[in-house]
Every structure is written in C-alpha cells, then in structure tokens.
Amino acid sequence: MHDLSPAYLKRVVTDGTDRMAWMRARARGITATDVAKLSTPHSINAAAHEKLHGSRFVGNAYTEHGKAREPEIAAWVLQEYGILPSQALFHAEADLRHLATPDGLAFREQGTIELAEIKTTNKTWRTIPRNYLRQVWWQQYVLGAERTLMVWERHENFVPVGDPECRWIDRDETEIECLVKLASQLIDELIARTS
C-alpha cells in the first residue's frame, strides 16, 4: 500500500489554529516574511536585529483590514481557482529552519503543488512589488510548489474596489537559490550574535 498523501503534509510544523504556537514556531526559523526583507548586507543585519529583539510594529489599520478581508478573498480564490485556504506553517525538506505559511494550497492531480498569496492594497499595481515576489519564491521553495497565484484586492479608505486581481507567478530557481543563500547568511548572523 502506497501513501498517496502529498509529502509536504509530513512537514507541517503547526496547523495554525493555535496562534501562540504558530508565533513561537515562526520565531525559531526563517520565514517568508523574513526573506521578503532580505536584499542587501544591511537588510541581513536589520532582519537579525528584528529576529532577536522583536519588531516595534504591532499592526495598523492596513494590517487589520488585510486580516479582516483575507477570509473573504480566500473564499473567492477557492471558488475561482480551487485553491484551499491554509494557515499551516511548513518547513522545507532541506532545512527545518526554513519556514513558510502560504495563504492557500492546492495539490493537483498531476502531483504538482500550487499556492496562493493574498494581499490588500490601497495602490494600483503595475507590477507585483519585489518584496512580495521574494515571499512567493520562498514559499514555493519551502513547499516544493510549481507556481503561486498572487491575489490582491485594492481598497479606497478600506472599502474594496471591484473583484480581486491576480497573476500566476512561476517558480524561479535562480531567485530561490539567492534567497536560500541570504537566509543562510541571516542564520549565520543570528548564530554569531547569540554565541
């Protein structure tokens, strides 16, 4: 008898239903949110400082709006694309410290994995912001996904404007390789600061 469940299910760190357990688990690794900020040597130092000392940012009206709208947008993604909402935290196959929580996840019949990443914005996007692309590529690396549906809903004064917009982002091995190197530098910096 073969195990037909997707391999990534064996890499669930926490299912996300216990917020404190999810936060503690994230603190012990490098997440997509951490990697989204990594682009320069200075950003590695800033990320290390934030990992060790916490962030002063506790949220604002924009993050609260995003949290409130995410389930609604996730329902749209499920209906339109068949990608299930997810709040589970996963670790990468290659490194238990590499973590990601995609907003949506689908295991397709062909054995491929597709993800969804949901954002709200008060801006019109001509292109997807680079930090969000880094977040998407990291999630693809951690889950072994082929592509991600980037979904964003624009709002004016926190009132949604029209249907969500979306674009598929394909896996990019070159970008992923760069992010894994930057994450390794961040881990080395954290070890150096705590030794």
Hey, what CATH topology would domain 7-193 get? Lambda Exonuclease; Chain A (3.90.320)
User: Do 29 and 47 touch, CB atoms closer than 8 A?
Assistant: no
List the one residue out of 104, 94, 93, 183 whose CA is nearest residue 136.
Answer: 104
CA 45 vs. chain centroid, Å, equals 21
The stretch 94-110 carries a mean pLDDT of 95
Report if pTM > 0.85. Answer: yes
Please compute Rg for the chain using Cα positions.
17
What's the DSSP call for residue 145?
A: -
Tell me: pLDDT of 116 over 70: yes
Residue 1 clears pLDDT 60, i.e. is over it: no
* Domain limits, the chain: 7-193
Q: What does the pLDDT look like over 125-134, one tens digit per residue?
A: 999 999 999 9
Q: Are strands 147-156 and 113-121 parallel, antiparallel or unpaired?
A: parallel
Stretch 111-121: mean pLDDT: 95
pLDDT of residue 5: 62
Kindly report the number of other CB atoms within 10 A of residue 114's CB atom: 21
Q: Distance between CA atoms of 70 and 151, rounded to whole angstroms?
A: 10
What is the average pLDDT score of the chain? 92
- pLDDT tens readout for residues 140-164: 999 999 999 999 999 999 999 989 9
- For 14-72, the pLDDT digits (tens) are 999 999 999 999 999 999 999 999 988 889 999 998 888 877 777 788 888 888 899 99
Strands (E), 26-170: 84-85, 89-91, 99-100, 104-107, 113-121, 147-156, 159-160, 165-170
Q: Is the pLDDT of residue 178 over 70?
A: yes
Q: Is the pLDDT of residue 123 over 80?
A: yes
* Selection from 38, 174, 20 nearest residue 98 by Cα: 38
